[in-house]
Amino acid sequence: MVDAFGRIATDLRVSVTDRCNLRCTYCMPPEGLDWIPGDELLSADELVRVVRLAVAEGVTEVRFTGGEPLVRPDLEAIIAGAAGLSPAPSISLTTNGIGLTKRAESLRAAGLTRINVSLDTLDRERFTSLTRRDRLADVLDGIEAAKAAGLHPVKINTVPMRGVNDDEVVSLVRWAIDSGVHLRFIEQMPLDAQHAWSRQEMVKADEILAQLASAFTLEPAAEVRGSDPAERWTVTSLDGAATGVVGVIGSVTRPFCAACDRVRLTSDGQLRNCLFSQTETDLRTPLRNGASDEEVVVLMRECLAAKKAGHGIDEPTFLPPLRPMSAIGG
Ligand code: SAM
């Protein structure tokens, strides 16, 4: 699956549900959203079929996400189906961590190799007001369970927001170093259901790095960045006692579209060539109407061929996607 700019899709993001057990203020309203009806969600077999076709087309990494992927009881079966493919893709999960205490081992046994847990604050009251649920302890326990299950390194995704948690940039990094996890800061993008995102409010990658530089010495981490959107830094406390790696993902101010190798499948079977795409390719209808593998692959290739050069957030004509992040798959 290659686009007009020569980018090859090797990283498939699969949303398994649009539902979530948190209500993060920057993601969705308190009452939730109009969830996709259950009969429109792809079954485990349908999801694995699309993953199989994508792997045959050159995908080497599959990340399961949502919504909250752990609300789906058959996630282990989906992962096992993907892990059993030949050649086996690398399989990762993006989750809020709630429920990992019970499932980290079974997910690992099913074939999960890497995990990202989203966590924006270490303060219980703040967590409760930000996510509208008092579940910080569950998330922290989930992170420990992921470590204990051998999902190493656990990566933590944090969206810094002005006046909300941007005063925790340094303390979150100190906690990550102490906890043996890798923290990545991600610039907030115009992907919320409420369309409340504002460029002025967004905490920019430069600001995050300036805060880090006040408490740590920073050196670019040795690894090659490739298509990984995170700029990785080795951070060392000013007294030299603690050191770790921090990622900064400047999705808005330092876009990485030119190296983008991603393609996304929504939980209702729509293929997207970009988070910000205004169009989708319906795979669910042909999947359910008896289409052959070859016919589905043609649609997948056509979808990728139409991928634009960039997300276009800086263009005057930019419009946010019709679906919010939670329904696309973050
Ligand atoms: N429920 C899972 C989780 O919490 O990781 C997966 C879905 S969630 C939408 C994936 C990630 O998207 C989370 O780390 C969340 O913080 C992030 N996110 C949500 N809205 C965002 C936005 N507008 N800009 C940047 N990241 C966002």
Reported as a single tens digit per residue, the pLDDT across 145-177 is: 999 999 988 999 999 999 999 999 999 999 999
Ligand 1 pocket test target in 13, 70, 118, 326 with most atoms within 8 Å of CB: 118
For the Cβ of 330 lying below 6 angstroms from any atom of ligand 1, the answer is: yes
Rg of the chain taking only CA atoms, in angstroms: 19
| Average pLDDT value for residue range 281-297 | 98
Distance 5 CA to ligand 1 centre (A): 28
| Average pLDDT value for residue range 52-75 | 98
Average per-residue pLDDT in the chain? 95
Which residue is closest in CA terms to ligand 1's atom 1?
68
Q: Residue-wise over 266-286: b if at least 16 C-beta within 10 A, else e?
A: bbbbbbbbbbbbeebbebbeb
Pick the atom of ligand 1 nearest to 117's CA.
5
pLDDT at 225 over 80: no
Distance between CA atoms of residues 15 and 238, nearest Å: 41
pLDDT at 315 over 90: no
Asked if residues 51 and 283 have their Cβ atoms less than 8 Å apart, the reply is: no
Q: What is the DSSP string of 28-91?
A: S-TT---PPPGGGSPPHHHHHHHHHHHHHTT--EEEEESS-GGG-TTHHHHHHHHHTSSSPPEE
Confidence of residue 43 (pLDDT cuts 50, 70, 90): very high
Write the CB contacts of 109 (distance below 8 Å, at least 6 apart in sequence): 76
Q: How many helices (H) and strands (E) does the chain have?
A: 10, 12
Pick the atom of ligand 1 nearest to 157's CA.
14
Distance 325 CA to ligand 1 centre (A): 7
Render pLDDT for 91-138 as a digit per residue (tens, 0 to 9).
Answer: 999 999 999 999 999 999 999 999 999 999 999 999 999 999 999 999
Pick the atom of ligand 1 nearest to 190's CA.
23
User: Encoding tokens for residue 105?
Assistant: 């081992």
For the Cβ of 98 lying below 6 angstroms from any atom of ligand 1, the answer is: no
Distance between CA atoms of residues 328 and 322, nearest Å: 10
Asked if residues 87 and 58 have their Cβ atoms less than 8 Å apart, the reply is: no
Confidence of residue 263 (pLDDT cuts 50, 70, 90): very high
| Average pLDDT value for residue range 320-330 | 90
Distance between CA atoms of residues 20 and 158, nearest Å: 17
Distance between CA atoms of residues 304 and 137, nearest Å: 41
Distance between CA atoms of residues 317 and 151, nearest Å: 42
For the Cβ of 76 lying below 6 angstroms from any atom of ligand 1, the answer is: no
**Which residue type occupies 141?**
D
- Please give the pLDDT value at position 314: 86
For the Cβ of 10 lying below 6 angstroms from any atom of ligand 1, the answer is: no
Asked if residues 314 and 16 have their Cβ atoms less than 8 Å apart, the reply is: no
Give the distance, in angstroms, between the CA of residue 200 and the centroid of all CA atoms in the same chain: 24
Task: Identify which has the larger pLDDT, 153 or 79.
Answer: 79
SS3 295: helix
Which residue is closest in CA terms to ligand 1's atom 8?
330
- What's the whole-model pTM score? 0.96
Ligand 1 pocket test target in 191, 202, 249, 256 with most atoms within 8 Å of CB: 191
Pick the atom of ligand 1 nearest to 96's CA.
4
- Please give the pLDDT value at position 319: 87
Q: What is the DSSP string of 232-292?
A: EEEEEETTSS-EEEEEEE-TTTS--GGG--EEEE-TTSEEESSTT-S--EE-HHHHHTT--
Distance 159 CA to ligand 1 centre (A): 8
Which residue is closest in CA terms to ligand 1's atom 25?
188
- 6: buried, middle or exposed (CB in 10 Å: 19+, 13-18, 0-12)? exposed
For the Cβ of 95 lying below 6 angstroms from any atom of ligand 1, the answer is: yes
Range from 89-93, 217-221, 282-286, 317-321 carrying the lowest mean pLDDT: 317-321
User: Encoding tokens for residue 198?
Assistant: 């504002």
pLDDT at 224 over 70: no
| Average pLDDT value for residue range 182-200 | 92
Share of the chain above pLDDT 90, in %: 88
For the Cβ of 131 lying below 6 angstroms from any atom of ligand 1, the answer is: no
| DSSP-H helix ranges across 165-234 | 169-179, 205-215
